[in-house]
Every structure is written in C-alpha cells, then in structure tokens.
A and B are shown apart, each in its own frame.
Chain A
Amino acid sequence: MQGSIEGTAVDRVGQQYQTDSAAAHEEHPDHRIFGIIVFLVAESMIFLGLFVAYLTFRAVYPSWPPEGTPERELLLPGINTILLVSSSFVIHQADTAIKNNNVAKFRAWFAATGLMGAIFLVGQLYEYFHLEFGLKTNLYASTFYVLTGFHGLHVLFGLILILAVLWRSRSQNHYSSQHHFGIEAAELYWHFVDVVWVILFVLLYLL
C-alpha cells in the first residue's frame, strides 16, 4: 500500500464518511438567497451601465437638458418616490410577520406592498401620457423614457413576484417562520427596485 495512488487517495478523502447524504445537503447554508443577491448584482450592472451612459451623454452634450425640453413636473414623481420608498418598509414588516409565524399579518403587509407598487406604475403611466415630449424628441427624452421604462418593467416583475407569493400562500399555505425563502427573495428584489428608483429620480428629475 505504501506509496500507491490508492492509499494516497483514501488518505486524502479520509476515512470518515457521511452515511446520510440528506444530512450532507443540510450542511449547506441556504444558497438560494445568495443566488438572489448575485442575480441582483448582475441587474445592478445593467443599470450602472445605463446610468454611466446617461451621464456621458449629458457631459458630452452642449447643454442639458437639451434646449426645448419642457420643464419636468416634480409633484407626481415626488409622490411616487415617497410611495416606493415607504413600500420598502411595508414589505419588511411582512418579513418580520412571517418570521413570527403570523401568516395573516404577512399577507396583509404583502398585499399593501403590491398595492403601493401598482399605484406607482399607474402614476408612471399617467406621467408618460401627460409629458410634453416623446421618445424621439431629443437625447434627454430618449434616455428618460428608456431608463424609467426599464425600471417600470422591473416594478412590474416585482408585482408579479408579490402576487405569485401571495397566491402560493393562499392556495398552498406555503410559508411559515421556518420556510420563507420566496418572501425574502421578493423582499430583496423589491428593495433593489426601490434603490434603483431613488438613483433614477435624482439623476433624471433633480440634477
């Protein structure tokens, strides 16, 4: 046995075996939340690329916003921003509720988040129809519509996620204090969408 490959291999992997492979699975911490975070990093990079492109357009363009761009109304997007930011606190309440095993409370907070997101989207659509510039008016208008529209798609996807979680909770009673990955994933995603909006609001409306 001395010096043989087999002897070495056995030494390397050791003599103790885990007999129950199901137990071995449990040794891994929940990797799914990690996966969601990694996914959100990729999402952030799309937005980061678009933000930097926007800032470059802005820096290179002679005057910004380009002449002839109508004044931007701040009231509606301001309300929308407050709505979205507060919805982050609301969805966190849902997370706390489910960790205390309070399913009814979790559903209520979650539904409230969904409602706030829906109002945000309606507000954004209302704004689109009442703005005095179109997608092709100038570079500012194009970046405005593409960036807010891309963010709006993310809000829409977040709403679908929230509805899916609510549906699973109602029809399958799927979530408990021990088992709430879907809720946490939706919450993380929602926070992400929220943070992106705050940056967008500053870039496109305030600066």
Chain B
Amino acid sequence: MTNAEMPIVANPPAAKQHGHAHKERRWQDYFTFNTDHKVIGIQYLVTSFIFYLIGGVMADVMRTELATPASDLVPPEMYNNLLTLHGTIMIFMWIVPAGAGLGNYLIPLMIGARDMAFPKLNALAFWMIPIGGVMLVGSLLIEAPQAGWTSYPPLSLVSGKVGEGIWIFSLLILGTSSILGAINFLTTILKMRVPSMGLNDMPVFCWSMLSTSALILLSTPVLAGALILLAFDLLVGTAFFNPLGGGDPIVYQHMFWFYSHPAVYIMILPLFGAISDIIPVHSRKPLFGYRAVAYSSVAIAFLGLIVWAHHMFTSGTPAWLRMFFMITTMVIAVPTGIKIFSWLGTMWGGKISLNSAMLFAMGFVGMFVIGGISGVMVASVPFDIHVHDTYFIVAHLHYVLFGGSVFGIFAAIYHWFPKMTGRMMNEPLGQIHFVLTLIGMNLTFMPMHKLGLMGMNRRIAMYDPRFTSLNQMATVGAYILAVSTFPFLINAIWSWWKGKPAADNPWNALTLEWMTTSPPAIENFEVLPVITHGPYDYGVDPEHDNRENEPPLTSPELQPDSSPLS
C-alpha cells in the first residue's frame, strides 16, 4: 500500500459535515485574523523570522562598532538603544514566538485535534506580537529604550521616559500574548487529545510544550506585576523601586528574574521537544528512553522556577541564599543531561541521514552542550562573581540561545517544512546554510569566553585595545552569520513557491502529524485517528529494510501488542 492509498489521510467528507467544504486555503488567509491553528503557526513563524532579521541587523551594527576599540560608528546612546532592542527583540519577538509558532502548528496535529481549544483567543494572541514588535522597533524613530533588556531601576527610571515607557508597554502586550498562548496550549494538550491518546502516548514535543506553557503561566504574570510597578515609578512618580523614595530596586530584580530565568527554559524547552522528535526520525531508531525524556521536561520546568536568584549573586544576596540557588541551578544539569544522553543513545547505531534537519539537530546538541557546560560554570558562586557582567556571560547565553534555540528552530523548520507547505526544501542550500551558521556562530561567540575571562565588560561600546583581535574575530563571525541567512531565505521562499512536491510522510516518521496530507486539510484529519500504540516507533523504508535478523529496536514497554513489524 502506498501513502496515497492510506485510508486515514484525505479530507473532504468530514469537512463537509462541518460546512467548511467550500473553504480552500488562500494566500490572503495569512494576512488576516484567521483562526486556523496552522495559519496562525505560520504567521508566528514568519513574523518572528522577520524580527530575527531585524535583531540580527542590530547585532551586526554593534559588532561593527566593536571591531575597533573606539566608539566611532554610532553615538553611544544609539549603541545602548541597539543593545536594548537587540536583546528584547531576539527574546520576545523571535525565539519565544517561534516556539509558540511551532507549537501552534504541530500540537493539534500531533494529538489528533481539529484545532486549538480557543481558536479566536489564539488569533488574538498572535496579532499582539506584531503590535508589540512595531512599537519596539518604531521606538527608534521617537526615542528608543536604552536601559538594557533587563531594564533595571534606577537606571531605567532616569534613562529616558518615552523610550522606557514604550518598552514597558510593548512588553506587557507581548507578555499577555504569551500568557493567552499558554492557556490555549495547556487546555488543548490536556483536554483535546483524541480519546485514545493518554498523556504517555503523546510525542515528546507535546510534553515540552506542556511544560513550557506551565512555566509561562506561572512566571510571566509576575513580570507583568513588576512592569506595572515600574510603569508607576516611571510615569506617576511613585517609588516602589526608587531608592530615593525609600523603594527597593532589588525587589524588581527578583520579580524580573522570576520570569526571565524561566524564560530561558521557555525558549529552549520547545526546541528540546522538537529535537527529540527529529533525531529519531532521521536516525531510523525510536527515541531512547521516552518517559525519561518526557518527564525531564517537567523536571526542568519545575527547577527553572526556583533558581532565578542565580542572576543576582552580585546583588548583595546573603550567602545561605546563594548556596540554595547555586545547588538548585546545578541540579538542572541532571534532567538536561538525561535529554542529551537520550539523543546520543538514539543516534547510537542508527542509520543517520545527514540532511539539513538532522545537521541542525546535531549542531543543536553540540552547541547546547557547550552552553550548558559554561552554564554549570557560572552557576557556581565564586566563578560567577568573577565573570559577572563580562563577555563570558554573553558567550554562555549565546551558546544556549543561538547554538541551542536558533539551531533548534532551523532544524524544526527543515524537518516540518514539507508538512507545512507540501514542498521539499533544497538540500544543498540547506547544508550550505548549516555550515555557514556553524562556522559563523563559533567564530562569533567562542572568542567571547576568552574576552570575558580577560575581563572585558559586556554592554559597552568602547574597550581596552588589548581586546581588539578577539573582538575582530567575533565581528567577522557575525558577518558570516549575516551571510548565512541568505541561503536559508532563498531556500525557504523558492521551495515554498516552486519546490519539489512533498509526500504526505517524506521522512517516514511515525507521529500523527504525518498521517494526514501535506499540507494538512483545514480540519486536519478526515476521521480522527485511534491510537493503539505508544507515540514512538520508527518508520522503515520497505526497500531498505534489512533488519530481519536484528533484534527488535522498539521497546516492548511502548508496544504492548506484538510488534507490527515482525
């Protein structure tokens, strides 16, 4: 039987019963208030990618400025604007929404639902993103914020009212959007699964979105609270965080990091999930240790909530408190390590196909391990005090957020592009993209470890000439990263328009989203599938199936019935 004959695919009859039969996807849908989760997912992904490019241009302007020790390219105030906007945009406008976009597209397909639980709320949450983003970028024309993405008072209270006000309100909008999205994900995952799918039958990506949403739900409101108080201080003249009026700026730091540390996991957890779904498919092996990987996401989410003060080791935190936060922070390495060993165990002895998706997934694992190790280093109080606010931190966070999240997003795009668009991406271009990204990223951020250990401060436009050569290296790397986006852009646009048509299941994957057409029909499935086995198995191309003499690779635990492959 070929894919085309599979009875579970196809679309029209059920759709007719819902009165949607006349509906075909039109290009205009992507520019309107559309409630289909697949449209919204793509809206999220494309919008966030545009902001990735904007944030990237800002980074390259800063790197050009830093090519020489003097502050000669942009005025210092402008440098601070770029610094603030680069951080804010990359976090709130690129990685967080890109994760939400993947979740929006994939979750209902993966759990056999027809849409998200609250489609209108979903569309509303998306449209808040461009509004917040245009406010942020538009502030460059009026007065941009310049207190850094952390916006610590009292600096943020004296560095320009208009810019800071715009920053606060756009962040409140983006935060609300993120909370609405989380409510939708939690309800969808917990309440909308096909009746035959238990929690332990869900793909790992669903587990990671569940953990991410719980984190968003518990931490983002606290940031909103901090921003409300900060707005009062800034605009009305109260003194919650202003020491001059008896307020306490440290309270802001606590509230800020209570969100912004979990934000790190909000950015990386969805990609952990995506990578756990990508690696087995391209290694032709089931995921090693499904339950451990699934539950480790929950563990990371929980631990992520109780470690925020490790950002404040130099803020006068008492020693016993530092100890608590140091230990809990280091403990996060355990569930994270479970994931990494699971990915390695999955690849071990697998038939790895080195296509773009797998390359980015493997790049993700490698780069994230470097970022994770420097993370354990800065978790220890004495080392953190030494490198605090130096380029070592910049290197660490970019290995995690660029080497981790951004590589993960690209891996996910290469992997699910055929499902989303019905067309294959161009492999050679994808591989050029990967090589350029890998070289560019390491050339940019690796020297920063050394710069930090040598004592170069972060957030500065001019520096001691002895740091020059390493900075120039990083600048060259940043240019390579800028160039690396071109093969991707050309590839994505051209493939979407004229690429080779994709089969319904081009990778022979075994999660539910591949059981419908590419791209999926408006109502996802003609008939809702019934789950009879666990979430993970491995697709074997019948022509290359030579495993007859090998022991079965599927775990008996996940396959209560006798293996369908025997």
Contacts and interface: CB of A to CB of B under 8 A. Distances in A.
Interface of A: 1-14, 16-22, 24-25, 27-29, 31-32, 34-35, 38-39, 41-50, 53, 56-57, 60-61, 66, 135-136, 138-139, 142-143, 146, 150
A5 B508 contact: yes
Contacts of A38: 182-183, 186-187, 217
Contacts of A41: 217-218
B247 interface: yes
A139 B244 CA distance: 11
A20 B17 contact: yes
A18 B548 CA distance: 35
Interface of B: 1-3, 5-8, 14, 17-18, 114, 117-118, 179, 182-184, 186-188, 190-192, 194-196, 217-222, 224-226, 228-229, 232, 236-240, 245-248, 251, 254-255, 258, 505, 508, 510, 512, 515, 523, 527-533, 537, 539-542, 545, 547-548, 564-565
Contacts of B217: 38, 41-42, 45
Nearest to A29: B191
B510 A6 contact: no
A6 B527 contact: no
Contacts of B251: 53, 56-57
Given A42-B220, A46-B221, A49-B225, A57 B529 contact: no
Given A1-B1, A21-B114, A21-B523, A8 B7 contact: no
Contacts of A24: 194-195, 528
A35 B565 CA distance: 41
Contact of A46 (B1, B222, B240): B222
B1 A27 contact: no
A142 B220 CA distance: 23
Contacts of B239: 136, 139, 142
Given A12-B564, A21-B14, A57-B248, A45 B232 contact: no
B228 A146 contact: yes
B564 A11 contact: yes
A9 B183 contact: no
Contacts of A4: 1, 540, 542, 545
Contacts of A10: 1, 6-8
A135 B239 CA distance: 10
Contact of A13 (B8, B118, B224, B541): B8
B564 A35 contact: no
A8 B563 CA distance: 9
B528 A18 contact: yes
B545 A3 contact: yes
A11 to B, nearest CB: 4
A138 B225 contact: no
A29 B158 CA distance: 52
B17 A34 contact: no
Given A11-B533, A53-B226, A146-B229, 20 more contacts: A5-B539, A5-B540, A5-B542, A6-B1, A6-B6, A7-B564, A8-B539, A10-B8, A13-B532, A17-B7, A21-B14, A27-B195, A31-B117, A35-B118, A38-B187, A42-B182, A45-B218, A49-B226, A53-B251, A66-B246
